[in-house]
Amino acid sequence: MQRNVLEYLEQIVKRLPDKTAYADEKTEMTFAQVSQNALAIGTFLREKGLYKQPVVVFMGKHPRTIAAFFGVVYAGCYYVPIDEEMPSHRIELIFKSLDPGAVICDSLTAAALGKFGYQGQSYLYDEMICTPVREDLISRVRDRQIDTDPIYIVFTSGSTGIPKGVVACHRSVIDYIENLSSVLGFNEDTVFGNQTPLYVDACLKELYPTLKFGATTYFIPKELFMFPLKLVEYLNDKKINTICWVVSALTIISSFGTFDRLVPKYLKTIAFGSEVFPIKQFNLWRKNLPEARFVNLYGPTEATGMSCYYEVDREFEPGEMIPIGRPFSNTDILLLDENNREASFGEPGEICIRGTPLTLGYYKDFERTGEAFVQNPLNNCYPELIYRTGDIGRYNERGELEFISRKDNQIKHMGHRIELGEIELAANMHMKVNTACCIFDGSSKKIVLYYVGDAAKAEVAEFLKEKLPRYMVPNVIESLDMMPLTANGKIDRVFLKEKYSKR
Amino acid sequence: MEQLLEILHGLHPEVDFETNDRLIDDRIIDSFDIVSLVSDISETFDVTIPVEEIIPENFNSAKALYSLIERLIEEE
């Protein structure tokens, strides 16, 4: 049985040493190069005495960064990806809470490191990879490594403003990668076009299956996501057949009429998630790529990556919702109501996750770990953890799981308990609304609806008055050109709240 | 041109759009801005920017963007 993610690398390097594993505009690395660099970095870190501690990888988005990740794992440490794109205040907080053993930089990021108040050791990737590999050091680490040892820490934003470091282990990542791969059907011919940043868990979808199958991942230059036609030209040029993107990256292509000029003709598998896919845009994709598979994914960072999937198997009309379907194999979903009992069929409940893909919790934060990773309330016989996502879901009449809203989107307004998600759902049913997000401004006690779409404000207001009880109709309706998104591709509610309170 | 500068300043009040001609090269404008620009321009000038014109050359400076708008108005 596989116990270590590095076994993926060790097996593929024997079979396909000279195939390109990861590539960007300027560089590409074969599996042999990834392996050699990772082993050298692992040796270097061990020689410096680093073991079982976080090592920050502060590098640009290129293939060498991935080799650095695996190098950290070879040393028995855990990698923490940081990117210059992240707000510097956030990076400072991360350094403070981590107290990392070392930082790995590339020549471009080394200079920027000083501004985050980090005083510890930092090493240059290009120098580290010159270290002669010492098999004895590497295998001594491996002998003692178990599958519940951490591999990485990625930071997600906490509601209090202090980021939380989610710690994932070999076991959870292997389980996730195996089940994701069987749902999406990756193989040796898979050519990934990566869109998501390397400092979020989303990139696991490409990084590890590339090793498992001997596939190839291209890191798509970020600026192409501004120029839809160039983006599709790139996809065709690299013969990319598999993408796992946030919805807004997909709609950039469909909403500018790109398909009338050019279709990404090699695409066979399109996975998306983190946001509601506006049906009008989704149908454009499906119409232009009738042979492709479309899969909606759902899951929190705390359960390693994605936990649920739905492969689109029928037509959707504007106003309908693409479900999140059902859990991956070896993952179980509980929908719990306010009394910690299973919600009855069709009733909303908090989505709770049970199973091997649960991560270990939040780094150096037992308190917040204990709030979210809790004893399964349906089991009072032996210890069993579930993760409470804080997301509200329900089963539709077909028995498919649907995502409704965040739990903390529940507000009390004029004596009524209101799920802001229900207002969003109603607004999304309007033909000319693409995306809607509802916030509650506590100081003015107003429900504010932001939406993107061609509908006039008055139209939306009138429509909502028909659909919703009077007390749920937003007090303020504002139209936006585009929804602000977080790094994870979710609607940035904090930004919208601030935008409203600063108006 | 005045109207266009106003739209651009709305996005990034701190940028001198009259002289800056590296808006894309220096990553001043991002994909969020492009989406808003295309929609604001179509509203203000009543022209649709076709996808083949959404290219870096047309968005690198206010001047380039304005000449694109003029060209599109003429073609209509």
- Please name the residue of chain A whose CA is at the shortest distance from the CA of residue B41: A481
Tell me if A24 sits within 8 A of A223, measured CB to CB: no
CB contact under 8 A, B29 and A230: no
> Which among A491, A471, A333 has a CA at the least distance from the CA of A399?
A333
Query: What CA dihedral angle connects A467, A469, A474 and A475, to 10 degrees?
Result: 140
A317-345 burial, b at 16+ Cβ within 10 Å, e below that, comes to ebeebbbbbbbbeebebbbbeeeeeebee
CB contact under 8 A, B55 and A223: no
> Which among A305, A349, A359 has a CA at the least distance from the CA of A327?
A305
CB contact under 8 A, A258 and B59: no
Question: How many of the other CB atoms lie within 10 Å of CB of A267?
Answer: 23
A-side interface with B, Cβ within 8 Å? 223, 225-230, 252, 255-258, 260-261, 481-482, 484
DSSP lists the bridge partners of residue A491 as A485
DSSP lists the bridge partners of residue A308 as A298, A327
Task: Name the token pair of A3.
Answer: 């116990």
* Whole-number pLDDT of residue A158: 62
Q: How far apart are CA A222 and CA A465, in angstroms?
A: 41
Tell me if A322 sits within 8 A of A277, measured CB to CB: yes
For residue A413, the surrounding DSSP H or E stretch is strand A410-413
CB contact under 8 A, B54 and A223: no
> Which among A480, A483, A411, A416 has a CA at the least distance from the CA of A447?
A411
What stretches of A50-98 adopt beta strand conformation (E)? 54-58, 78-82
Tell me if A2 sits within 8 A of A146, measured CB to CB: no
Closest Cβ–Cβ partner in B30, B51, B59 for A257: B51
Closest Cβ–Cβ partner in A228, A481, A484 for B51: A228
Average pLDDT of the segment spanning A225-233: 95
pLDDT at A415 over 70: no
Q: How far apart are CA A30 and CA A41, in angstroms?
A: 17
Average pLDDT of the segment spanning A292-318: 95
As its CATH architecture, domain B2-75 has Orthogonal Bundle (1.10)
Delimiting residues of CATH 3.40.50.12780 domain(s) in chain A: 6-167, 220-402
Residues 6+ apart with CB under 8 A from A35: A9, A10, A13, A17, A70
Domain A220-402 has CATH 3.30.830.10: no
* Whole-number pLDDT of residue A445: 77
Delimiting residues of CATH 3.30.300.30 domain(s) in chain A: 414-501
CATH class of domain segment(s) A414-501: alpha beta
- pTM for the model stands at 0.86
Any idea which residue has 């040892």 for tokens?
Answer: A149
Average pLDDT of the segment spanning A159-188: 92
* Whole-number pLDDT of residue A410: 73
Average pLDDT of the segment spanning A303-312: 97
CB contact under 8 A, B54 and A225: no
Contacts of A225 in chain B (CB under 8 A): 31
Show the DSSP H helices in chain B as ranges: 2-11, 31-45, 56-59, 62-75
DSSP code of B55? S
pLDDT at A152 over 90: yes
Amino acid code (one letter) for A173: V
pLDDT at A160 over 60: no
CATH class of domain segment(s) A6-167: alpha beta
* Whole-number pLDDT of residue A417: 66
Show the DSSP H helices in A107-169 as ranges: 125-128, 135-144
List chain B pLDDT tens, one digit each, 76 residues: 899 998 898 777 778 999 999 999 888 888 778 887 888 898 899 999 999 999 999 999 999 999 999 999 998 7
Mutation target to probe the A interface, by most A beta carbons within 10 A, among B22, B36, B43, B54 is B54
* Whole-number pLDDT of residue A161: 59
pLDDT at A119 over 60: yes
